[in-house]
């Protein structure tokens, strides 16, 4: 069953075409990585899937209702005047959940991302990795059917990003939302997803669609298995070809 | 050492002034030595303090009124682009009009029995703009990604204003009030000059009165009182802004 789909969408901005024609089908519960060179329209595709933007041409199909889509941005995007718990409770409160009930669920969501005890901290008191965990907790608290992650680990160091990648997969195993994970890091794309979609240079079109074998969450040492290396090679190859194709006039 | 530097400079300047006055036999009505100014300050301390309080009271009342009007108008401007277009040019006209130029008009309106109303109104005019422009900028300063999240979760217009735009505006409001308070003092003093002898007997009136009587030492003492009041108020507000920012950010 499809959760969201882009059908031959094109997006034009004032400075020229930004995306497409591009098609993408997201099935319920699957994790799709979206990779492509900078400026290929990955984030634009994500905003279309979120319903935050409308395409210039083509069709966007979405089944999740209000509050069933969550977005995590590259920056944690937390309100500095709110505690971690109040930030996480915000989506529930905006949807009309009573403050006390929202607070309880926010506390649970923070515990799930490993931040039990940090409820009262303000964003300025948190490290980059912790702030990103708060952002993840805020996305999870509404129990979404579709999670859209826009290069969420790009600003973090390698150790933190690997730990967070495993956290996302572990959390996914609980709720099984469909996840679209935008990144420009090929290894991360393969590690996270059951399917990697490669885009050409902007305006982005499809350059390849690769299934990734292996269990999720990933077992220790998964990055050294031959299957993982083969997928990384295939995706890298498609990415290079897509960049060359986009560069042609 | 660094904190002492301005005091050392002030002491040196005062000493140079004292020596120059005595050595060159400057007439006291032109420039009295600092020792004479100090004596005048002590002799007139009670008068000067109550005058300073009158000026300060005008500025404080003006700041409160300006704050309320500026924030209410900024809300309207932030919520409606038509009101934005309508109000903004008028706000700019208020900003570029010199207080001394409109003081006579306000004094006529206030009437001879209530000059203090004109003084407050004039100080309001001066203090209004920084608070207004700060509030408008602040209400539009919310993180665009947070705005997207609010849209994603179906927040109403009211929720977006009260739970995102207003809290985002707090640092801008703090800055606007700091600048506005300083201007309210200047506005109150300038308005007092405009009102002349009929006005509230604040510090500006003390300066005018001393000048009319050629009591230069009392005049400089009043100026010094004005300077001290300004510096103290600025320091207080800078601290208040810092404390407010700490509270807003949580550290």
Pick from A50, A94, A123: which is nearest to B155 by CB?
A94
Q: At what angle do helices B203-212 and B166-195 cross, to 10 degrees?
A: 20
| Model pLDDT, residue B96 | 83
Runs of H (alpha helix) within B196-215: 203-212
Digit-coded pLDDT (tens) for B185-227: 988 888 888 877 666 788 888 898 898 899 999 999 999 999 9
Give the structural domain span for A168.
2-64+145-247
A87 with A45, same domain: the answer is no
pLDDT over threshold 90, residue A80: yes
Mean pLDDT for B66-93 is 88
CATH number of domain containing A201: 3.40.50.300
User: Is residue A70 situated within a structural domain?
Assistant: no
Number of Cβ within a 10 Å radius of residue A202: 20
A47 with A158, same domain: the answer is yes
Q: A206 to chain B, minimum CA–CA distance in Å?
A: 27
User: Is residue A37 situated within a structural domain?
Assistant: yes
Q: B181 to chain A, minimum CA–CA distance in Å?
A: 25
A226 with A169, same domain: the answer is yes
Report the chain A residue with the minimal C-alpha distance to residue B246: A81
Contact of A142 with chain B, judged by CB distance below 8 Å, is answered with yes
A108 with A224, same domain: the answer is no
A56 with A151, same domain: the answer is yes
A214 with A182, same domain: the answer is yes
Tell me how far apart the alpha carbons of residues A209 and A195 are, in angstroms, rounded to a whole number.
Answer: 7
Contact of B158 with chain A, judged by CB distance below 8 Å, is answered with no
CA nearest A150: which of A64, A66, A76, A228?
A: A76
Q: B131 to chain A, minimum CA–CA distance in Å?
A: 21
Contact of A50 with chain B, judged by CB distance below 8 Å, is answered with yes
Task: Report the complex ipTM.
Answer: 0.87
A14 with A137, same domain: the answer is no
User: Is residue A74 situated within a structural domain?
Assistant: no
The pLDDT confidence band at residue B251, using thresholds 50, 70 and 90, is low
Mean pLDDT for B164-170 is 92
The better pLDDT of the pair B185, A216 is held by B185
* pTM for the full predicted model: 0.81
A9 with A132, same domain: the answer is no
Contact call for A69 and B251, based on CB within 8 A:
no
Peptide bond into A140 cis (omega under 30): no
| Model pLDDT, residue A249 | 44
A138 with A24, same domain: the answer is no
Cα R_g (chain B), whole angstroms: 23
Phi-psi label, residue B111: left if phi above 0, alpha if psi -120 to 50, beta otherwise: left
Digit-coded pLDDT (tens) for B21-78: 999 998 888 899 999 999 999 999 999 999 999 999 999 999 999 999 999 999 888 8
Number of Cβ within a 10 Å radius of residue A91: 26
Tell me how far apart the alpha carbons of residues B42 and B47 are, in angstroms, rounded to a whole number.
Answer: 10
Distances (CA, A) of B168 to A176, B108, B181, B242, B248: 34, 41, 21, 16, 9
A177 with A97, same domain: the answer is no
Digit-coded pLDDT (tens) for B109-125: 888 788 888 889 999 99
**Of A108, A124, A143, which residue is a domain's last?**
A143
Contact call for B250 and A125, based on CB within 8 A:
yes
Contact of A69 with chain B, judged by CB distance below 8 Å, is answered with yes
Ordered by where they begin, the domains of chain B are 38-249 (1.10.3720.10)
CB neighbours of A208 closer than 8 A, spacing ≥ 6? Answer: A196, A197, A198, A234, A235, A238, A241, A242
């Amino acid at each position: 069953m499809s959760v969201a789909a882009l059908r031959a969408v094109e997006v034009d901005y004032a400075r020229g075409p930004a995306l497409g024609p591009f098609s993408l089908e997201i099935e319920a519960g699957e994790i799709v990585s979206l990779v492509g060179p900078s400026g290929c329209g990955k984030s634009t595709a994500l905003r279309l899937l979120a319903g935050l933007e409308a395409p210039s041409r083509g069709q966007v199909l979405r089944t999740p209702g209000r509050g069933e889509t969550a977005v995590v941005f590259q920056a944690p995007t937390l309100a500095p005047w709110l505690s971690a718990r109040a930030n996480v409770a915000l989506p529930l409160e905006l949807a009309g959940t009573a403050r006390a009930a929202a607070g309880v669920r926010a506390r649970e969501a923070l515990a799930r991302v490993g931040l039990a005890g940090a409820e009262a901290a303000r964003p300025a008191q948190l490290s980059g990795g912790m702030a990103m965990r708060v952002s993840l907790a805020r996305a999870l608290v509404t129990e979404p059917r579709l999670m859209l992650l826009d290069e969420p680990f790009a600003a973090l160091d390698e150790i933190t990003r690997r730990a967070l990648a495993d956290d996302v997969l572990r959390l996914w195993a609980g709720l099984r939302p469909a996840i679209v994970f935008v990144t420009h890091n090929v290894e991360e794309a393969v590690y996270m997803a059951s399917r990697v979609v490669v885009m050409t240079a902007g305006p982005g079109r499809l350059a390849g669609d690769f299934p990734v074998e292996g269990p999720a969450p990933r077992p220790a040492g998964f990055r050294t298995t031959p299957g993982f290396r083969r997928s990384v090679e295939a995706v890298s190859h498609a990415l290079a070809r897509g960049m060359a194709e986009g560069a042609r006039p | 050492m660094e904190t002492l530097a301005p005091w050392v400079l002030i002491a040196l300047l005062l000493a140079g002034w004292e020596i120059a006055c005595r050595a060159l036999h400057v007439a006291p009505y032109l420039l009295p030595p600092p020792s004479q100014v100090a004596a005048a300050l002590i002799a007139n301390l009670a008068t000067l303090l109550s005058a300073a309080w009158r000026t300060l009271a005008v500025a404080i009342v003006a700041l409160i009124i300006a704050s309320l009007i500026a924030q209410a108008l900024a809300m309207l401007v932030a919520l409606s682009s038509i009101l934005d277009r309508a109000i903004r040019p008028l706000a700019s006209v208020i900003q570029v009009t010199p207080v001394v130029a409109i003081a006579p008009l306000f004094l006529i309106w206030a009437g001879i029995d209530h000059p203090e109303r004109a003084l407050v109104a004039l100080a309001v005019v001066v203090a209004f703009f920084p608070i207004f422009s700060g509030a408008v900028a602040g209400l539009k300063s919310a993180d665009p990604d947070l705005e997207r999240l609010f849209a994603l979760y179906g927040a109403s217009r009211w929720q977006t204003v009260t739970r995102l735009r207003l809290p985002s505006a707090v640092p801008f409001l703090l800055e606007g009030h700091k600048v506005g308070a300083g201007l309210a003092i200047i506005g109150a003093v300038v308005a007092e000059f405009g009102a002349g002898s009929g006005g509230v007997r604040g510090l500006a009136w003390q300066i005018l009165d001393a000048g009319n009587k050629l009591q230069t030492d009392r005049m400089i003492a009043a100026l010094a009182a004005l300077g001290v009041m300004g510096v103290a108020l600025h320091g207080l507000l800078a601290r208040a802004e810092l404390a407010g920012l700490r509270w807003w950010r949580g550290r």
